[in-house]
Copies of this chain bind each other. A is one copy, B any other.
Amino acid sequence: MSTKHIGKQTIIFSNPPSIDGHACVVGKKEGEGPLRNSFDYIGEDSYFGEKSWEKAETAMQKMAFSMACDKASVTPSSVEYVFAGDLLNQCVASAYSLRDTNIPFFGLYGACSTMAESIALAAIMVDGAFANTTAAVTSSHFCSAERQFRFPLEYGGQRTPTAQWTATAAGAVIITSQGNGPFITHVTTGRIKDAGITDMNNMGAAMAVAAYDTLTAHFNDTKLSPSDYDLIVTGDLGAIGHSIVMDFFKKDGVDLAPNYDDCGLMLYDRKEQDVHAGGSGCGCSASVLCGYLLNGMRNGRWNRILFAATGALMSPVTTGQGESIPGICHAVTISVNKGI
């Protein structure tokens, strides 16, 4: 049986699925950043009308999914499968946000790579003729993540220069077999990579090796070169991870500088907003993609982008037990043209 596989890790779609709708919902701080005009909704505070930060994150996901359906002109009940995950233990933001939808649900855990992982699987379902309409959803929340992964906010712990700021943000995408694009043409699925980094406040460096691995696999598998893209954007490497990826490619004789950026560097004004090395969290790449990037593609700013979301797969327990931090990066090619 022939497969749609090319090279080691890449799928090339025979009938590229279309992103018919996309929406993002962010917190106040994100709404004060440079991408403020690209968000569908900016919250007034961290609570989104709820009593806890976990419930607030759930509310944000619900809102993003509902808006994405609306913008795609599909009813939630016509979505055949939803792929979703988040950073909270047991991925509860996703489970509770989608509880009442009655949509067949595949729960994911890809840490901050979830937006790319969920889009990849949602697109596979459509290209494989298992469904005509699917959705990919994710979120993160600064306050729920800080208390879970680091310290309670009330503790007022000081942040190291390499630390990143978990975005309060949710994103959702509706994918169909019949739409007018932008289209998902390729998926390069990541492998787990571990550079031996044990500092939970240096996620960017931990994930950079995974980003380099997946991007390299993508270029090798597809025979595309970085210059074939108008924009290559990694998930949430921030300043440190971004410069490591640039260095890795420089050693291979490739200059990524002209068209390479990172969602963790785009979401905030690092100088003015005190986010140290940049943004992070599932919602970081999700909200940059579902607002600024996809809007930009619709407006003709970019014709083809490579969206490579990155995740760190450790937990506070494994870090406490002295384990290093494994990273992963999944990449999807998004193009305004259906042809390759």
Contact partner of A5 among B4, B54, B130, CB < 8 A?
B130
| A317 (CB) vs chain B CBs: closest residue | B54
Using an 8 Å CB-CB cutoff, how does the interface string of A68-107 with B read, 1 for contact, 0 for none?
Answer: 0000000000001100010111111001101101111111
Give complex CA distance A152, B199 in Å: 26
Stoichiometry, copies per complex? 2
Q: A280 at the A/B interface (Cβ < 8 Å)?
A: no
Q: A315 at the A/B interface (Cβ < 8 Å)?
A: yes
Supposing A85-B109, A107-B117 touch, asked if A98 and B130 sit within 8 A by C-beta, the answer is no
Contact partner of A90 among B5, B108, B109, B192, CB < 8 A?
B109
Contact partner of A127 among B128, B132, B317, CB < 8 A?
B128
- Give the 6 A-B residue pairs with the shortest CB-CB distance, closest first: A128-B128, A95-B313, A104-B189, A90-B315, A109-B109, A107-B109
Q: A227 at the A/B interface (Cβ < 8 Å)?
A: no
Give complex CA distance A5, B120 in Å: 19
| Chain B residue contacts of A316, Cβ below 8 A | 89
Supposing A4-B129, A129-B4, A131-B5 touch, asked if A96 and B318 sit within 8 A by C-beta, the answer is yes
| Chain B residue contacts of A81, Cβ below 8 A | 189
Q: Chain B's nearest CB lies how many Å from the CB of A20?
A: 15
| Chain B residue contacts of A54, Cβ below 8 A | 317-318, 321
Q: A270 at the A/B interface (Cβ < 8 Å)?
A: no
Assess whether B104 is in contact with A190, with CB atoms less than 8 Å apart. Answer: yes
| A3 (CB) vs chain B CBs: closest residue | B129
Assess whether B191 is in contact with A89, with CB atoms less than 8 Å apart. Answer: no
| Chain B residue contacts of A85, Cβ below 8 A | 107, 109
| A189 (CB) vs chain B CBs: closest residue | B104
| Chain B residue contacts of A194, Cβ below 8 A | 99
| Chain B residue contacts of A21, Cβ below 8 A | none
Q: Chain B's nearest CB lies how many Å from the CB of A119?
A: 12
Assess whether A315 is in contact with B192, with CB atoms less than 8 Å apart. Answer: no
Q: Chain B's nearest CB lies how many Å from the CB of A149?
A: 9
Assess whether A89 is in contact with B92, with CB atoms less than 8 Å apart. Answer: no
Using an 8 Å CB-CB cutoff, how does the interface string of A180-201 with B read, 1 for contact, 0 for none?
Answer: 0000000001111010000000
Q: A110 at the A/B interface (Cβ < 8 Å)?
A: yes
Assess whether B117 is in contact with A178, with CB atoms less than 8 Å apart. Answer: no
Assess whether B315 is in contact with A11, with CB atoms less than 8 Å apart. Answer: no
Q: Chain B's nearest CB lies how many Å from the CB of A65?
A: 13
Give complex CA distance A4, B125 in Å: 10
